[in-house]
Amino acid sequence: MVESSPQIPTGVPTAARVYDVMLGGKDNYAVDRAVAEASLAIMPELRDIALHNRAMLHRVVRYLAAEEGITQFLDLGSGLPTVRNTHEVAQEINPQAHVVYVDIDPIVLAHGRAILADNANTTVVTADIRQPGALLGRPEVRALIDFERPVCVMLVGILHHLADEEEPGRIVQTLRDAVPSGSFFFITNFTRLGDAPESVALEKQLLEQLGTGRVRTPAELAAFFDGLEILPPGLVPLPLWRPDEPVLDASTIDVRFMTGGVGRKS
């Protein structure tokens, strides 16, 4: 359990802490657990979905570090530290890989500082991606990310916390313009399942209780990759992106509710 802190409001739920509940973490409060329980009542598969999201993150970071030689990762909306974080996967392959975690929730910085105390190649920054220009100019970001060299920009499970009015597509475009060719974008998002009323009910519950949770169509997800070359196998349900083990049944909600992929800037 986390300590109370004036910087960490405990009376309202936050996305980072609700996600921590889903992953079985301990860094959350009663308000967060109440939202998670209401979500799980609608879609019990959400715990597995969170695990699929983490597993894809591990596969993508491993692939980009090992096969594409990426040495810089800008992990936006990184969430609370959990089992196997981006820097652990990347630095296992290349100990010199640089990783910058960015999250709007100050609890991420509070916990990240402790685990990163002796890792000079990794840092945590509290910032809002809705101001991408300010974020890109932060000295802590510039200290570890060289924007003259390819970067992997990670927007994993974060864009569904932005409403359409907040123009997530414009944010992605600003980020795309800031990185050189040879950079990658790794994006996942809740996906609307036309045949499953749960996806509509979950969006409604999250918007009411958490204030964010935009379930998007495959076309809306694809628009985030405009101008990028999408790597095989494309924008797919998370477990189907270069799986380590064959997926025996891809028809279930846990497989299909989140979609993602990787795009390269040419």
Q: Tell me which residues touch ligand SAM (CB under 6 A).
A: 14-16, 19, 53-54, 57, 77-79, 103-105, 128-130, 156-158, 161
* Smallest separation (angstroms) from ligand SAM to the CB of 189: 10
- Three-class secondary structure assignment of 111-156: HHHHHHCCCCCEEEEECCCCCHHHHHHCHHHHHHCCCCCCCEEEEE
Per DSSP, the residues of 26-44 read: S---HHHHHHHHHHHHH-T
Task: Give the nearer residue to ligand SAM in terms of CB position, either 106 or 243.
Answer: 106
Q: Beta strands 72-76 and 258-264: pairing type?
A: unpaired
Task: Give the nearer residue to ligand SAM in terms of CB position, either 150 or 168.
Answer: 168
Report d(CA 21, CA 34) in Å as an integer. 10
* Smallest separation (angstroms) from ligand SAM to the CB of 78: 5
Task: Give the nearer residue to ligand SAM in terms of CB position, either 165 or 249.
Answer: 165
Q: How many CB atoms lie within 10 A of CB 3?
A: 6
* Smallest separation (angstroms) from ligand SAM to the CB of 99: 12
* Smallest separation (angstroms) from ligand SAM to the CB of 80: 7
Task: Give the nearer residue to ligand SAM in terms of CB position, either 110 or 156.
Answer: 156
Report d(CA 237, CA 158) in Å as an integer. 16
* Smallest separation (angstroms) from ligand SAM to the CB of 165: 13
Sorted by sequence, the CB contacts under 8 Å of residue 71 that are 6+ apart come out as 65, 94, 96, 97, 98, 149
* Smallest separation (angstroms) from ligand SAM to the CB of 171: 9
- The angle, 0 to 180 degrees and rounded to 10, between the axes of the packed helices 197-209 and 30-42 is 160
Task: Give the nearer residue to ligand SAM in terms of CB position, either 136 or 266.
Answer: 136
CB 206 within 8 A of CB 213: yes
Task: Give the nearer residue to ligand SAM in terms of CB position, either 134 or 180.
Answer: 134
Report d(CA 49, CA 46) in Å as an integer. 5
